Structure 1
Amino acid sequence: MIEIKDIHKAFNGRDILMGINGTFKPGDTSLIIGGSGTGKSVLLKSMIGIVKPEKGQILYDGRDFHNSDEETRKTIRREMGVLFQGGALFDSKTVLENVKFPLDMLTDMSEKEKIDRAEFCLKRVELDNAGGRMPSEISGGMKKRVGIARAIVMNPKYLFCDEPNSGLDPLTSVKIDDLIKEITDEFNITTIVITHDMNSVIGIGEKIMFLYKGKKLWEGDSNNIRTSTVPELNEFIFANKLLQEMRG
């Protein structure tokens, strides 16, 4: 379980996050939504340790991430899996080598054990025949699946996905959403997805947090978001539906 308590963050005197609170449970696919500049990416960076909040706590199963000793922080980081927005694959490494990379860096497993684990994760995302290919030889949707395989290769307790559907067509986006949901359920991971895609919100949003100008304005799930009485959230939903219809 991840708990965020009264998180504040500012850059150059400008408040980006103002008193954010929330709880994210194992086995739930939790979404953080909002328009550009609302603070959702800064919140994600705070949660994975790229930036440090000026105030507040981020607790991983009761462990205060930013206010613990270095050994505890390292332990928590090893329990995280991250799917970056652009995939962040190494162009010079094969698909298998990309997935295996965290094991090379962070474990003392034998080479055979690392290869077996990487191949297992590739099979789980239905890419068991792609291990020898280079990132330049696969599609955008396949790159996202490789990114998911790499994110789960360390068997994480916590999975963070930053705009996993960015740049994908609607059908591929649904497949990526379904895969994230399946993996979350299968391994009982605490999963947090940063997105602005309303299809993802309706499809897999078991818990949804809406940020607006650095504040949490609404929290709920995919069933009750349609009946929201928060004007800013309704405007966000309408704008996204309109954009999808124009693209569509």
Structure 2
Amino acid sequence: MIEIKNIQKTFGDRTILAGVSGKFKPGDTSLIIGGSGTGKSVLLKCMIGLVKPEEGQVLYDGRDFLTGDDDTQKAIRREMGVLFQGGALFDSKTVLENVGFPLDMLTDLGTAEKIDRAKFCLQRVGLEAAANRMPSEISGGMKKRVGIARAIVMNPKYLFCDEPNSGLDPLTSIKIDELIREITDEFQITTVVITHDMNSMMEIGEKIMFLYQGKKLWEGSSSTITQSNVPELNEFIYANKLLRDTKA
């Protein structure tokens, strides 16, 4: 389980996060939603150690990631998998090499073991046939799937996805959502997804946290989100539905 307590972050005189707290449980696909500039991506970066908040705690199964010693922080990082918004694949490496990169950097596995693990993860996302292709030779949706394969190659306990559907068509977005949910359930990973996609909210939002101007204004599930009495959340949902209907 991941628990965040009173996360506060400022940049200059601007408050980005104002005391955000919450819990994320294993086997759940947890979503952090909100409009642009609400602090959701900064919160994710605080959780994975790319940004350090001025105050608060980030606990991984009780271990404090922010104040832990080097060994504790390294151990937690090895248990993380991250899918970045743009995929962040290495253009000079094949699909298989991209997936196996964390194994090269963080493990002492032999070459054959690393290849077998990378192939297994590619198979899990349905891309075993693309192992020897370059990132420039595959579609945007395939790149996201490669990113997911790389994110799970270390068999993580915690999976973070930053806007996994960004730039994808609706059908591909649905497939990515389904894949994230399947992997979360299959491996009982604690999964945290940053998104503003309405379909993701309704289909995989087992737990949803809504941020507005750096504050958590609502928390619940996809089955209760439309019953909210929070005006800012209702406006956010309406705007997303209107955008989706316009694209359709």
> Shorter-chain TM-score category?
over 0.9
CA distance in 1 between partners of 2:51 and 2:171 (Å): 34
Give, in whole Å, the separation in 2 of the partners of 1:33 and 1:55: 22
Q: Aligned-pair distance for 1:11?
A: 0.4
Rounded Cα–Cα distance in structure 2 between residues aligned with 1:151 and 1:13: 35
Specify the alignment match of 1:77 in structure 2: 77
What CA distance in whole angstroms lies between the structure 1 residues aligned with 2:51 and 2:200?
27
**2:25 is the counterpart of 1:32:** no
The residue correspondences of 1:180-219 to structure 2 (distance < 5 A) are: 180-219=180-219
Aligned equivalents of 2:223 and 2:247: distance in 1? Answer: 25
Give matches, 1:95-244, under 5 Å: 95-244=95-244
* Deviation of the 1:71 alpha carbon: 1.1
CA distance in 2, matches of 1:159, 1:13: 32
Question: What letter is aligned with 1:196?
Answer: H
SS of 2:129's partner is: coil
Distance 2:247 2:91 in 1: 30
Deviation of the 1:78 alpha carbon: 0.5
Q: Deviations over 1:117-142 (max 9, x none)?
A: 00000000000111000000000000
SS at match of 1:30: strand
> Per-residue deviation at 1:98?
0.1
Give secondary structure in 2 for the equivalent of 1:22. strand
Give how far 1:246 is off: 1.3
Unaligned runs of 5+ in 1: none
The superposition leaves residues 84-112 of structure 1 with CA deviations (integer Å, 9 ceiling, x where unpaired) of: 00000000000000000000000000000
Amino acid at match of 1:158: Y
Q: How does 1:13-28 map to 2 (within 5 A)?
A: 13-28=13-28
The CA distance in 1 between the partners of 2:94 and 2:21, in whole Å, is 40
- Stretches (4+) displaced over 3 A: none
Q: Which amino acid aligns with 1:49?
A: G
Residue number in structure 1 paired with 2:49: 49
RMSD of aligned alpha carbons: 0.4
Q: Tell me how far 1:247 sits from its aligned partner.
A: 1.3
SS at match of 1:126: coil
Secondary structure of the structure 2 residue equivalent to 1:129: helix
Which residue number corresponds to residue 11 of structure 2? 11
Q: Distance in 2 between matches of 1:80 and 1:158?
A: 5
- Give the residue type in structure 1 aligned to 2:244: Q
Secondary structure (helix, strand or coil) at the match of 1:6 reads: strand
Q: Distance in 2 between matches of 1:56 and 1:98?
A: 34
**Cα separation, 2, equivalents of 1:165 and 1:50:** 22
Taking the aligned partners of 1:182 and 1:128, their CA distance within structure 2 comes to 18
**Count of matched residue pairs:** 248
Identity within the alignment, % = 78
SS of the residue aligned with 1:166?
coil
The Cα shift of 1:74 comes to 0.6
**Structure 1 Cα separation of the partners of residues 136 and 128 of structure 2:** 17
- Structure 2: where are the runs of 5+ without partners? none
SS of the residue corresponding to residue 211 of structure 2 reads: strand
Structure 1 length-normalised TM: 1.00
